[in-house]
Chain A
Amino acid sequence: MLKHPLFPQVAVVERISRETADIKTFSVAALKGGVPFNFMPGQCAMLSVPAVGEALFSITSAPAQADFLEFSIKKTGAVTDCLHGIEEGCQIAIRGPYGNGFPVAQLKGRDLLFIGGGIGLAPLRSLINYCLVHRGDYGNIHIVYGARSAADLMQRKELYENWPASPATSVYLTVDTGQEGWDGHVGFVPQYVEELGFSPQNSIALTCGPPIMIKYVLAGLERLGFQPEQIHTTLEMRMKCGVGKCGRCNIGGKYVCRNGPVFNFAELKKLPAEY
């Protein structure tokens, strides 16, 4: 029988760990064990709970890092609500990988500036860990990450332990509103990036977060002297098929699921402002 391109495979949710009040990270393995498919950082997968529906999530683990895929998922809609309700050992459906992923070849030899907000760390984390595995291929790595509050910061072990412990890697954290027990930076991500004042020299910036954050980060980076070609961002749209056919995630002539989700700012500037 011919295989329908939208036909998923069954996978097992091996582990679920709570990141924040509304974000959980799911480790998903193929039925026979191992990753359901190979992928590159920045690519996505369509997860589904039968009877509820499908939704697209970026893969947050790094390639070849583990024998499962990781997804950090925020509770926002029907599918994510349901995923938050399942237990370890449950079987779900998965198909992918989808999307272009980050342009890893282009990043070699460059200083990398990661800028993430909230759940937007998920796709960046895949690339960060990929780069740290191939640490020698990249220059300095700066990671700026912010969330609404200290309790909303995800992947704390990596933020506080793993990443700062890597050579020439620094992590800058900020929260929107300060509170007792938080002695770090308080303020929005875009402003913090400008305050920190990174040099565009031989750098590539990669950003992901809520649309409003991305908008201001892009403007801020330009002020710091980053050329549009030096900035990569991932976009989010409502998606159904993941393969550029169902027709809803286009921005002008580009499909986010197929031509994206990673776009450099120069490309983005050529597209209609409908995202």
Chain B
Amino acid sequence: MQEIQKARLPQLWEYLAKKAPLYLPQQEDGVINFAPWQEGARVKLESLNTVLPPKSIVFPQWETYLHFTQKARELKLTPTKEPEGSYILFGVRPCDVAGITVLDRVFLQDPVDVFYESRRRCTIISLACNEPDISCFCSAFGLEPGFAPAADIMLWDGDKFLLWQSLTEKGETLTHSLTDLLEVPTPAETESVQCLRETAATVQEQKWGLDGVKERAKDMFNAPIWDSLYRRCLGCGICTYLCPTCHCFDIGDFSRGERGERFRCWDSCMYKDFTLMASGENPRPTQKERVRQRFMHKLSYFPAQHGLYGCVGCGRCVRKCPVNIDITQVIKEAGGSISCA
């Protein structure tokens, strides 16, 4: 294990940004999001979750993947070059790292999405949560607020310094290149990591039991909760767009005269046109079916397809829903137990 003094972080970022594009949480007009580092960046490591998850970097809201030219009867298609993958994500919270591994299941399964695969070559430096928020519930899904197993490098906040542990070969290589900036922590500091991890886990105010939720959720399709929960839903896309695991997308064309391009962009199962067919039929005709789809997908369908929950408990939807539709209520309905620590 190593450590870096917080005072030296700007030096570190400057160095890293020279090696590869460096994305970290930054504040602009009061909104904290991942953005590329540049001189004078207003980095905000201490805030827990960014508004948009780092999903917006590995799976951007829209990206063009082909250009076309149409002249009379002739059509020409040109692929867009795959995106650059050698960038660094710094300060990703453990729930968001887990969110990326959920996306992996979708985009890296056959047929592999090569654009995603390329972006996924990035290096992820995760920052442990010392004090999770009241609306966080990552522990419900067996995740740990103080540790992100899928990260390349793990950081813990030790007040004046960040403790630094590489978890993968990629992380190790990067760590080696930073000998000038990293220091060796004292044994006490090294030991403090365990303490930070444990405190974070207990600070997460609510203790969750999810035994049987997957199974119970399977039978929830006709549960009464759907008849009431959806009524206040505004049908906006906040919950899905801010979700680190939501991956639904649409494909659209943009054209100008003979030239044009085809792009893929985020879409939301909360929108009424999401499943609307050209014939006018819609298998999810009201907001009830759409709200049910979102929760069932996370708690039942996704586990059935991929063996893990489609929720990582980051709490963004809980915090940002304008009418407080709360997935933890659904989990409780599905038999998840909850008790205050």
Contact = CB atoms under 8 A, between A and B. Distances in A.
Interface of A: 1-10, 48, 50-55, 76-80, 87, 89-93, 211, 236-238, 240-241, 243-253, 272, 274-275
Contacts of A93: 68, 75, 77
A250 B302 CA distance: 11
A24 B77 CA distance: 26
Contact of B301 (A2, A79, A253): A253
Nearest to B250: A240
Given A6-B264, A52-B253, A93-B75, A245 B113 contact: yes
A162 B301 CA distance: 45
Nearest to A11: B75
A9 B118 CA distance: 22
Interface stretch (B133-141, B161-169, B274-282): B274-282
A248 B278 contact: no
A50 B75 CA distance: 8
Given A91-B75, A247-B249, 5 more contacts: A3-B79, A6-B262, A245-B107, A249-B275, A272-B296
B267 A274 contact: no
B73 A236 contact: no
B250 A2 contact: no
B73 A87 contact: yes
B247 A245 contact: yes
B318 interface: no
B173 to A, nearest CB: 24
A261 to B, nearest CB: 13
B106 A245 contact: yes
20 contacts: A1-B81, A1-B82, A2-B114, A5-B114, A6-B65, A7-B65, A7-B77, A9-B77, A51-B70, A53-B251, A55-B278, A76-B279, A78-B278, A211-B281, A237-B277, A238-B276, A253-B300, A253-B301, A272-B221, A274-B221
A249 B107 CA distance: 16
Interface of B: 65-66, 68, 70, 73-77, 79-82, 106-107, 109, 111-115, 117-118, 221, 247-253, 255, 260, 262, 264, 267, 269, 274-279, 281, 283-284, 289, 293, 296-297, 300-302, 304-305
Prevailing SS type, chain A contact patch: loop
A48 B255 CA distance: 14
A5 B112 contact: yes
Nearest to A8: B77
Contacts of B274: 238, 248
B107 A252 contact: no
B251 A246 contact: yes
Contacts of A79: 278
A251 B297 CA distance: 10
Contacts of B262: 6, 50
B24 to A, nearest CB: 28
B77 to A, nearest CB: 6
Contact of A7 (B79, B81, B281): B79
B297 A250 contact: yes
Contacts of B111: 5, 243
B104 to A, nearest CB: 12
A53 B249 contact: no
Contacts of B115: 4
Given A248-B267, A252-B221, A275-B283, A6 B277 contact: no
A211 B279 CA distance: 11
Contacts of A252: 221, 296, 300-301, 304
A253 to B, nearest CB: 4
B235 to A, nearest CB: 16
B114 A247 contact: no
Contact of A53 (B77, B106, B114, B253): B253
Nearest to A249: B275
A54 B253 CA distance: 9
A236 to B, nearest CB: 7
Contacts of A274: 221, 283-284, 289, 293
Nearest to B107: A245
B278 A4 contact: no
A269 to B, nearest CB: 13
Contacts of B267: 240, 246-248
Contacts of B114: 2-5
A141 to B, nearest CB: 29
Nearest to B251: A240
Given A10-B77, A50-B260, A92-B75, A245 B66 contact: no
Contacts of A80: 278
Q: Give the top 7 A-B pairs by smallest Cβ distance, nearest first.
A: A77-B278, A247-B248, A253-B304, A51-B255, A91-B75, A2-B114, A5-B111
Given A91-B75, A247-B248, A2 B278 contact: no
B237 to A, nearest CB: 13
